[in-house]
């Protein structure tokens, strides 16, 4: 399962490939991109729900203490420490997840990824999960400083579809979220209309790519 994050001048886009464990799953449920505060979000896998709860607590704790939203670097640090603690004891297992988190604060758009070890890095664009090498190669081709949020949503959809191999992999549902100018600086899943356009675009681009090969 792949998650990518793209940071452009006006905001950050997260895209996730949610593999469908069952065809009976109601569309739009069991989301993998979740909000941790008005300003932060996480692209998550497996143990993600638990980490989201923790992220919410950290965000609330910071707000209670400092009366302002937590800077993403601090949130990454706190979550990193939390993940790291789970690597230090024989009685617990480490988290089986890589996490991408995004925010928009007074210093502009922020994007971080946290590894299961607790290491975290800031990024212009990143991918975690299955097929991340291919996704990263695609991300490197983008001119991130020239993209609008809307364009980035389309690119994100394209890359998620491109990495997915319909002949080998299970079916999936695309998730797209953004935070920045176009979302009134709150983290939100992209509007239905845009989602549909981006999804169609991604699908057709990926198919034509495969035709050429």
By CB under 8 A, is residue 26 in contact with another protein? no
How far is residue 70's CA from residue 105's CA, in Å, rounded to a whole number?
Answer: 9
Task: Identify which of residues 134 and 188 has a Cβ nearer to another protein in the complex.
Answer: 188
How far is residue 20's CA from residue 68's CA, in Å, rounded to a whole number?
Answer: 38
* The only residue of 94, 144, 186, 205 in contact with another protein, by rule CB under 8 A: 186
By CB under 8 A, is residue 60 in contact with another protein? yes
Task: Identify which of residues 123 and 178 has a Cβ nearer to another protein in the complex.
Answer: 178
CB count within 10 Å of CB 150 equals 17
* The only residue of 56, 73, 150, 181 in contact with another protein, by rule CB under 8 A: 56
To another protein, the closest distance from the beta carbon of 129 in angstroms equals 21
Q: Are 12 and 107 in contact (CB under 8 A)?
A: no
By CB under 8 A, is residue 64 in contact with another protein? yes
Task: Identify which of residues 60 and 170 has a Cβ nearer to another protein in the complex.
Answer: 60
Residues 6+ apart with CB under 8 A from 71: 103, 105, 107, 110
By CB under 8 A, is residue 49 in contact with another protein? no
To another protein, the closest distance from the beta carbon of 24 in angstroms equals 20
Closest CA to 127 of 113, 141, 116: 113
How far is residue 100's CA from residue 110's CA, in Å, rounded to a whole number?
Answer: 11
* The only residue of 17, 35, 98, 126 in contact with another protein, by rule CB under 8 A: 35
Q: Are 72 and 62 in contact (CB under 8 A)?
A: no
By CB under 8 A, is residue 36 in contact with another protein? yes
DSSP at 22: -
- Residue span binding another protein (CB under 8 A) among the ranges 31-39, 43-51, 101-109, 191-199: 31-39
How far is residue 119's CA from residue 100's CA, in Å, rounded to a whole number?
Answer: 12
Residues at the site binding another protein, with contacts judged by CB under 8 A: 31, 34-38, 56, 59-60, 63-64, 67, 186, 189
């Amino acid at each position: 399962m792949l998650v990518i994050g793209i940071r452009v001048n006006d905001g950050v886009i997260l895209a996730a490939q949610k593999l469908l464990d069952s065809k009976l799953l109601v569309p739009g449920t069991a989301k993998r991109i979740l909000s941790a505060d008005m300003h932060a979000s996480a692209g998550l896998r497996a143990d993600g729900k638990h980490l989201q709860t923790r992220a919410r607590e950290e965000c609330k704790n910071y707000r209670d203490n400092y009366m302002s939203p937590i800077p993403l670097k601090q949130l990454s640090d706190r979550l990193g420490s939390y993940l790291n603690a789970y690597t230090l004891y024989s009685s617990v297992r480490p988290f089986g997840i890589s996490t991408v988190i995004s925010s928009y604060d007074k210093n502009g758009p922020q994007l971080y990824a946290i590894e299961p070890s607790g290491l975290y890095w800031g990024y212009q664009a990143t991918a975690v999960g299955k097929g991340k090498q291919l996704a990263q190669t695609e991300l490197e081709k983008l001119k991130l400083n020239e993209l609008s949020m809307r364009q980035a949503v389309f690119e994100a959809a394209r890359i998620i579809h491109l990495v997915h191999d319909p002949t080998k992999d299970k079916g999936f549902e695309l998730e797209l979220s953004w935070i920045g100018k176009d979302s009134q600086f709150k983290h939100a899943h992209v509007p239905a209309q845009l989602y549909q356009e981006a999804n169609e675009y991604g699908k057709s681009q990926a198919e034509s790519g495969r035709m050429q090969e």
